[in-house]
Structure 1
Amino acid sequence: MVNAFFPNSSALETDLKIEREWRGTLQKHLETEKEKVTRLQNEHKQLKEVSKEYEALKDRHKSLQGTCEDQEKALAELGSHLSESKLRMEDLREEQLALKEAQWADDKEVIACRNCTKPFSVSRRKHHCRNCGEIFCNECSDNKMPLPSSAKAVRVCDPCQTKLLQRYSAN
């Protein structure tokens, strides 16, 4: 009787079966696609978080770079001051050695100027250089300069004056 109302029921049943299979396949495909969408949304959230972290790290890097530049400038300045201090210390050591080594020459032993070698006489008097301690004539020791060991300017010979002027101009 069913067949009387539906003459091609087997064809319809076959079509229905195909439609069910196709529907099942589409539902499975839909579920797979939903899973992909969910996975992609999660990955997108993670990428947003990573992007925020990256921006924060870029800001931190910029800040650290500025700090590093400031510290490099400070180190360069300290290096410059250290070099100046070392030079000053070296100059002070040289001056100290010069003062220690500068022993006054004995008047009786020296008969001529240590610079121009002119003999001393009644008219050409002996003068001690207050820096090196040697004896010179007035022409070769008529300079006055302040020394670290004296508060006021004192007599120095021409060679010591040249040496001291170079030392003072270097500072």
Structure 2
Amino acid sequence: MMDKDNFERILDVQHSFGPSGKPLTNPGRVLVGEGRLMKLCRHRTKARVFFLFNDLLVYGSIILNGRWNKKQKIIPLEDIELEDLEDGLNMKNQWLIKTPRKSFFVSATSSEEKRAWMEHIEDCRTKWLQKAGRKPSNAFAITWIPDRASAICMRCFGKFNITHRRHHCRSCGFIVCNPCSKARAVLPHISSKPVRICKRCTLSLQDQGVEEQLRPRGDSDGTNCGSDVDDQRAPEYEPSSDEEERMEDRASSNWVVSQLHSTSTYVFLNPDHERPAMM
């Protein structure tokens, strides 16, 4: 039987994604915490709202803070692996969230928040695997090199411009041009359909004797190859949107903040989850 307060909180999260969101209420599901993190998207970092459940990690774009979200993403905890990272030039308190279909960088507003997020995700994941008898994933999507990291194709070294566009190889994450990424291959942990891969990864798959997974693809097949965003095979990063960015202000994370607590106070719904000691 789901606790009434917990059920109402989960229902609020579900309704925040509108009719396009998937149902989140489920017997035995507990909303452990929520907060806002900066996520490295294709062109820049953007604020995203994250909800941690005892069996899922859910996140999405923020339209109206605390009321309306969109682009709901649901990740089972057995499909998550975390990797701690040192501070970067543009992202402090960052870490990597790896999943079979998508791996991405996120950052918190402080080292304490980062540690709380990581510890709670790991704790929920461990307990869920034990309780549900699930096996963790062992194949994860490569993290993409950000667009701004290279002005040239990382295979042919041709300079990108308005007609020579950037793309990403789904196998290695390198930034490549369209002529250098004509082939498509089925990468089972990413998609059941063929996805874009570069010339070098094509040769690697051929060396491994998996030619049946490969097929060439050009612009003549009727598909718009002018942008990775146009490829309907779950790009690793959401497309950038200036309009969305103006509506998404960075704020501190809060672990299910009640109306009686300040936004910097951690409040836990599950008594098994204790507040980590702060430095």
Same fold (TM over 0.5): no
Higher relative contact order (CA 8 A, sep 6+): 2
**TM-score, normalisation: structure 2:** 0.25
Higher strand fraction (1 or 2): 2
**TM-score, normalisation: structure 1:** 0.39
Structure showing greater Rg = 1
Higher helix fraction (1 or 2): 1
